[in-house]
Structure 1
Amino acid sequence: MGYEFTREDVAFLRSAAGGRALAEVGALPLIPASQLADVVSARQLVGERFATVVETVLLRRRAVSKVDDSADWLFTDAALQQATASAVTAHRAARFAGRDVHDVTCSVGADLVGLARVAARCVGSDLDQVRLDMAAHNCAVAGVGPVLARADALRPVTRGTAVTADPARRDASGRRRWQPGDFAPPLDELAETYRGVDLAVKCAPGLDFDIAPWADEVEVVSLDGQVREACLWTGGLATAGVRRRATVLRSGGPQWTVTDAESDDCPVREVGEWIVDPDGAVVRSGLVRQYAARHGLGQLDEHIAYLTGDTPPPGIRAFRVTEHGHYNEKTLRAMLRRHGVGRLEILVRGLDVDPNTLRRRLKLAGPAEATVVLTRVGRSPTAFLCTAHRT
């Protein structure tokens, strides 16, 4: 649980004196090796507001990996943890382009800024006045000017707008909440409040999507190989004829999407020249078969997400099969010894194997580097020794 900011803290941070204090403390290393000395220095430089300033400097440093141009932003620890990477925010905001939109849980404005850049008119509201004060600052820094209001997401204060929400998924101690009824606001209450309204609800990709039957479309989004979020779309924000979508984003590269409206004609087949481990967004959205059908691949097992074929899709990391056979530790160790493998990546799906524990027991030795894919084919545990390639 991070530092608890007050409105007075935010007012100080936005002032000229606060700006000078942030610059002075920002010049300190503030790393574990020098933390105690740096805190003493910060207290000498800033005085009684040192904790406010130190926390803000540290949060800004953490934000670099998430929020573009965040060097002058204000955050709370919880708000930053829940903030979405800017590339994902921009992707989600694109569906609101040209519309009036209300972000009913705007927090410090990480999503609101992206919405304000594309919407016709934009409103942001939150119950937390401290976060609203931070949102006002962050929007000004970003050069956008949405209307801000203190309001309960479950008591609508606008009409005729599309609505977006990002319910809090951590309790007061910072522990993650897993039950949708424990979200703030609760997921079903949010859906009921905005029944008949075009609504988008950002949520964790690990959510059981079956508990949101009111969602017309579920989209799972990954960025640079990591699954980042799911979004539940309703009404005019959803895509006609699509119930599930996986979207794969790449920093500075092409993006693509696959949906359940596509063919899922995907055979189960013997292993080919390549094994393909689909992006996590494809797996989480349940669209492995559609992805396989698009690229002419088959499944090694109908219940396992590993795919195989003789030509891998372009732009992915795929695995060329060198050897395969029944898996147990003895046979795997012999296989690795035959190929002189000293550095090994272990991928597992469908078997109860801990890669780190297994790697220690294999006693690897040799100049070669390889990947082993451990999975179940039918009832048989199988090992596929591979070399990884970027296609």
Structure 2
Amino acid sequence: MPYTFTLDDVAFLRSEEGARALDQVAELPLTDRIADVAAVRKLVGEKFAAVLETVLLRRKGKLDPTWLYTGDALQQASVPPVARHRAARLAGRDVHDVTCSIGADLAELARVARRCLGSDLDPVRLAMARHNCPSIPLVQADALAPVTSGAVVVADPARRDSAGRRTWRPADFGPPLDELAEVCTGRDLAVKCAPGLDPAAVPWAAEIELVSLDGQVREACLWSAGLATASRRASVLRSDGTQWTLTDRDPSDAGAAAPGEWIVDPDGAVVRAGLVKHYAARHGLWQLDERIAYLTGDEPPPGVRAFRVIEHGHYQEKSLRSLLRARGVGRLEILVRGLDVDPDALRKRLKLTGADEASVVLTRIGRTPHFFLCRAERVPG
């Protein structure tokens, strides 16, 4: 069970004595839980649990290593590149983060907003936010009882039920998403959610933006009508600072045709945003099948990992095994869409022992299962 911080814990951690304790414990290897507890208790005394938990959370490396966190707050917090991207759309506005928690989003909003306020119901997280964001005004307030007017409302509702289990139902969020939208009627509203959210559950959202970082889909952001510039958007970010965006307003005149020289698996944000055709049209690609997200073409987009087709045909497990053994493939990456195939189970059944490596894309074209034996390559750009 994660440690439950108290206001006394936060006060200690923010004190000079607490800072010294954190520095001392940070020098320990912390590789054996039982031994670590004993060592930290000897160093710190009665506040050993709060200090140990804080050092362990800081070592996760997700946010500023001088900040204070709870485990749940750190898990839900946006990583800085994603929070920065979302904040950029609100540059120059007055912004109120009504679920500011420990301040991860608030810190990025304050860099670009004209004026910024944070609030939260949880006094412990709010105390941590005061440490993390000392120059930003903070108040304890319920997101469903507005204490501002005119400012853009930003929210990141808790997505766990009373038992601590993850929930996908917006009505179970904290605060409930439909109630928050109703309270904010007539105001600009931006809400961070998990990427698996059903759009039908948030009819008030004029735009749904899917955001990925380094190939991993991180979040969906819901934008109300006053902030929306499209209905669906995919924003693809990289840790090196590069990024690009695709929306449903971009051309989508890409159909399906015979396989080209390459297979391209679009970024997950593109797929989840329903913008596969738009991505294909932008890069001169086409679909293998109208209902499958794999794309193909004679030249892949720059900067992506694509799959150069070596051989393809009708998929049968036995014939694929023979082909891979004949080519000396011992290490195999398996990508699947549109077929009921478990890649890990298939890899075990293939029992490959060769020295070479390859990738295989398994999918269907129409009703026919197909395989594409490929060599994965990182395209420059």
- 1:209 equivalent to 2:203? Answer no
**In structure 1, how many angstroms separate the alpha carbons of the residues matched to 2:148 and 2:201?**
27
**Which residue matches 1:12?**
12
Whether the aligned pair in 2 keeps the contact of 1:121 and 1:146 (CA below 8 Å) is no
Distance 1:253 1:184 in 2: 32
Cα distance in 2 between the residues matched to 1:84 and 1:185:
18
* Pair 1:104 & 2:94 matched: no
Partners of 1:306 and 1:298 lie apart in 2 by: 9
Structure 1 residue 215, shift from structure 2 partner: 0.7
Amino acid in the other structure paired with 2:85? H
Is 1:44 the equivalent of 2:38? no
1:142-177, Cα deviation, whole Å (9 max, x unpaired): xxx221010000010001101100000012443101
What is the aligned length? 379
Alignment map for 1:132-281 (pairs within 5 Å): 132-140=126-134, 145-239=135-229, 242-281=230-269
* Contact map agreement 1:197 1:235 (CA 8 A) in 2: no
TM-score (structure 2 length as normaliser): 0.98
Matches within 5 A, 1:20-31: 20-31=20-31
Equivalent AA in structure 2 for residue 26 of structure 1: A
Tell me which of 113, 116, 123 is aligned to 2:110.
Answer: 116
Please give the alpha-carbon distance, in whole angstroms, between the structure 2 residues aligned to 1:203 and 1:218.
10
Select the residue among 283, 293, 302 that pairs with 1:305. 293
Query: Residue 279 of structure 2: SS of its match in structure 1?
Result: helix
User: Residue 54 of structure 1 is aligned with which of 52, 55, 71?
Assistant: 52
**Aligned-partner residue type, residue 341 of structure 1:** V
Letter in 1 for 2:97: D
User: 1:287 and 2:287 equivalent?
Assistant: no
Give the 3 Å change call, closer, same or farther, for CA 108–253 of structure 1 in structure 2.
Answer: closer
Q: Is the 8 A contact 2:207 2:225 kept in 1?
A: no
Contact 2:211 2:237 in 1 (8 A): yes
State the distance in 1 between where 2:164 and 2:171 align: 17
Could you tell me which runs of 5 or more consecutive residues in structure 2 were left unpaired when the two chains were aligned: none
Q: Distance in 1 between matches of 2:158 and 2:93?
A: 25
Structure 2: how far apart are the matches of 1:35 and 1:100?
45
Query: Residue 237 of structure 1 aligns to a residue in which SS?
Result: coil
Q: 2: distance between equivalents of 1:325 and 1:24?
A: 62
In structure 1, what is the Cα distance between the partners aligned to 2:187 and 2:367? 48
- Aligned equivalents of 2:294, 2:42: Cα separation in 1: 58
Identity %: 68
| C-alpha contact (below 8 Å) 2:188/2:224 kept by paired residues | yes
Alignment TM-score, normalising by the size of structure 1:
0.95
CA contact (8 A) 2:287 2:294 kept: yes
1:5 counterpart letter in structure 2: F
Shift of the alpha carbon at 1:26? 1.1
Runs of 4+ in 1 over 4 A off after TM superposition: none
- Is the contact between residue 127 and residue 152 of structure 1 (CA under 8 Å) also seen in structure 2? yes
AA at the equivalent of 2:51: V
Output the amino acid matched with 2:54.
T
Return the alpha-carbon distance in structure 1 between the equivalents of residues 52 and 74 of structure 2: 15
Aligned counterparts of 2:5 and 2:241: Cα–Cα separation in 1: 38
Aligned partner of 1:178: which letter? W
2:332 alignment partner AA: L
Q: 2-side partners of 1:3 and 1:304: how far apart?
A: 45
Q: Report the secondary structure of 1:96's partner residue.
A: coil
Please name the residue that 1:130 is paired with.
124
The one-letter code matched in structure 1 to 2:160 is: R
Distance 2:80 2:347 in 1: 37
Partner of 2:33: 35
Amino acid at match of 2:310: T
Shift of 1:29: 1.2
* SS state at 1:201 partner: strand
Determine if contact 2:206/2:222 at 8 Å carries over to the other structure. Answer: yes
What secondary structure, in the 3-state scheme, does the structure 2 residue paired with 1:58 have? Answer: helix
Which residue in the other structure is 1:354 paired with? 342
Checking the alignment, whether the CA contact within 8 Å between 1:78 and 1:174 is kept in structure 2 is no
Q: Aligned partners of 1:103 and 1:356: how far apart in 2?
A: 43
Q: 1:321-349 CA distances to partner (integer Å, 9 max, x unpaired)?
A: 00011112101101112211111000011
Amino acid at match of 2:81: A
The answer as to whether partners of 1:196 and 1:235 remain within 8 angstroms in 2 is: no
